[in-house]
Amino acid sequence: MALRSRSTLFATALAVIGAASAAAQDHVVTLAAYGGGYSALKQLNTAGTAEFAPGFTLGGGIGYKIDKSVELRATLTGAQSQLRQGATPTGVYLNRYYLAVDVKAEHPTASGIAPYGFFGAGAVLLHEKASTGADKTQGFAHLGVGIAYTIKSGLSIFAQGDGLFYSLTEMTSPTFTSFSAAQIDVGWSAGVSYRLGS
């Protein structure tokens, strides 16, 4: 069941990427890769005895330019962080695989600097590392801001912050089944993007 859930999520991501790549023949498409840190802003229980330690995030995406300032993009992001009980690391990790579709609005400038913001939604697969048959897939909301800098034609670097909103409700993995709190997590990352097409 766990393998099937992950396979479905990645197959959907590949389908989105394939469709956007075909569109790149006539339109502006951007490819991006990024990595950085990840942190949960809320504790997992009302007693305050369980929380996630800061972790890491890696991802990539593809975007389709509607016009100079607006882009539709799809991203696949993986994040991992360790559970702590009473500030003590437990050795238990929660993996999250986010498939998001966002609307991104940016403000390009003559200097090559382009601040931007985005919002969207998608599906997140929650998986306790090393567990089997206990994955949970649900919806999440996504928003953030960033800044990009064009190094040369088509190639840019960027830094961005992400807010991610989801819930642990109905997880059945051995460690997380007792938690049901709505989560507010943040990610911060840096990456590189490349523009295809005219």
What does the pLDDT profile of the chain (198 residues) look like in tens digits? Answer: 555 555 665 566 555 555 544 444 457 899 999 999 999 999 998 888 899 999 999 999 999 999 889 999 999 999 999 999 988 999 999 999 999 999 999 999 999 999 999 999 999 999 999 888 778 999 999 999 999 999 988 899 999 999 999 999 888 888 898 888 899 999 999 999 999 975
Coil, helix or strand at residue 5: helix
DSSP string of 85-154, one letter each residue? ETTEEEEEEEEEEEEEEEEEEE---TTSEEEEEEEEEEEEEEEETT--S--EEEEEEEEEEEEEEEEETT
CATH code for residues 2-196: 2.40.160.20
Q: Is the Cβ–Cβ distance between 54 and 185 less than 8 Å?
A: no
Predicted structure pTM score: 0.83
Domain layout of the chain by residue ranges: 2-196
